[in-house]
Amino acid sequence: MTTLIGLVMVNMFEVNAWTMGAAVGLAVAFMILTKTTHPPAGANPLLVMLTGESWMFLFNPVLIGTLLIVTIGVVYHRWICKRVYPIRWL
């Protein structure tokens, strides 16, 4: 979601210190509101804004990486550790 915030900001506003600060602030506020705080994710809007990424950045590498990490976690816990994982999805 922080990558999406960065993409929206870079496509709506000129990239400068104010918009980068606003993007990071929005990303951190969103993480706090959803109780999914992950400090390194606060840098995602900066990465997107400074490199000028396109909307495809959401799919490659973000979506592909996310699906890969979740798949590896589920396979590891269910097939190797023989535990139910995740206990519930949401």
Q: How far is CA 36 from CA 11, 12, 66, in A?
A: 25, 26, 15
**How crowded is residue 5: how many other Cβ atoms within 10 Å of its Cβ?**
22
Q: Which two tokens stand for residue 62?
A: 């973000």
Give the integer Cα–Cα distance in Å for 5 and 85.
30
Residue 5 confidence (pLDDT) above 90:
yes
Q: Domain residue spans in the chain?
A: 2-53, 58-90
Residue 13 confidence (pLDDT) above 80:
yes
Residue-wise pLDDT for 40-85, tens only, equals: 999 999 999 999 999 999 999 999 999 999 999 999 999 999 998 8
Instruction: Give residue 90's pLDDT.
Output: 72
Please state the pTM of the whole predicted model.
Answer: 0.82
Give the integer Cα–Cα distance in Å for 7 and 23.
9
Give the integer Cα–Cα distance in Å for 74 and 7.
30
